[in-house]
Amino acid sequence: MPTNIAITGAAGRMGKMLIEAVSMSSEAELTAAIERPESSLIGADAGELAGIGKNGIAIVGDIAEVKGQFDVLIDFTAPQATLANTQFCAANNKGIVIGTTGFSQEELAELEALQAQLAMIKAANYSTGVNLSLKLLEVASSVLGDDVDIEIVEAHHRHKVDAPSGTALAMGEVIADALGRDLQKVAIYGREGQTGARERDTIGFATVRGGDVVGDHTVMFMADGERVEITHKASSRMSFARGAVRAAAWLVGKDKGLYSMRDVLGI
């Protein structure tokens, strides 16, 4: 039986991709689509909006209207909307796949407080390639250890509203964990002016914004005499959408709690 899926943020860049990805999956079926209540697209056909032809799912402006129609919500919207939807899913025994990034520390704490009340997957990046890269970064960090300077460079399209990207931060977390460092203490978010010499245990982030770049990430491990770089480049949002749909189907029947995309992929 395919999993009944609701997609919120249905008219967004990722929302439309997710509608298409669900239509291509044998494990999932789109049964509800949600947008902001003030959106001019309320009532529109979700399939037509996503460019895949009519699918008979009308976009609604309130998740409560489709309460009985889905098992798992896929949410790629904005932090406050995602928090409200997580509360709704916890109260109504639904699973949630969270793709939204850019949460503040307070918002993350609110999400954390909810995670025991529902089955939740949260990932800054749902592509298989990025999750493989996280594994490679763990290995590289343990092998190269404290002998290298580590810097993370990311590039995204001009519309992205948060920086550095959630994926870059996830990469920083994996590296810091592998090296026994606290990312909050060692992260350097950009440099300017008389910065002084680089301290070995810092992890630097550099952000590039422009054009239609879907998402590029490079981690540099720099030693005297050699440099290792691990790079991932996304050329289509479909890689994120397919991963999120796979995660939603995987979540069905799981115990309440927080899971990662690496749990879904078994790496």
Nearest C-alpha neighbor of 81 from the set 112, 95, 66, 102: 102
Does 88 interact with ligand NAD (rule: CB under 6 A)? no
* Between 157 and 227, CB nearer to ligand NAD: 157
Which burial class, exposed, middle or buried, applies to 246 when counting CB atoms under 10 A from its CB (0-12, 13-18, 19+)? buried
Smallest distance from ligand NAD to CB 228, Å: 25
Does 15 interact with ligand NAD (rule: CB under 6 A)? yes
Secondary structure class of 243 (helix, strand, coil): helix
- The size of the interface with ligand NAD (CB under 6 A), counted in residues, is 24
Does 220 interact with ligand NAD (rule: CB under 6 A)? no
Q: How many CB atoms lie within 10 A of CB 46?
A: 29
Binding-site member from 102, 107, 136, 258 for ligand NAD (CB under 6 A): 102
To 5 degrees, how large is the angle CA 203–CA 209–CA 215?
A: 75
Residues in CB range of 101: below 8 A, 6 or more apart: 124, 162, 165, 166, 167
Does 123 interact with ligand NAD (rule: CB under 6 A)? yes
Does 100 interact with ligand NAD (rule: CB under 6 A)? yes
Report the greatest alpha carbon distance in the chain: 61
Catalytic residues: 156, 160
Does 13 interact with ligand NAD (rule: CB under 6 A)? yes
* Between 40 and 194, CB nearer to ligand NAD: 40
Query: Candidates 6-14, 89-97, 138-146, 189-197 — which segment interacts with ligand NAD by CB under 6 A?
Result: 6-14
Smallest distance from ligand NAD to CB 99, Å: 4
259 close to 39: Cβ distance less than 8 angstroms: no
| CA–CA distances in Å: residue 78 to residues 31, 98, 246 | 22, 10, 21
Could you say which residues in the range 35-64 bind ligand NAD, by CB under 6 A?
35-36, 39
Binding-site member from 5, 7, 22, 34 for ligand NAD (CB under 6 A): 34
User: Shortest Cβ contact with ligand NAD: which residue?
Assistant: 12
Pairing of strands 59-60, 28-34: parallel
Quote the CA–CA distance of 31 and 153 in Å, as a whole number.
39
Does 12 interact with ligand NAD (rule: CB under 6 A)? yes
Name the residues that contact ligand NAD, by CB under 6 A: 8-9, 11-15, 34-36, 39, 76-78, 81, 99-102, 123-126, 240
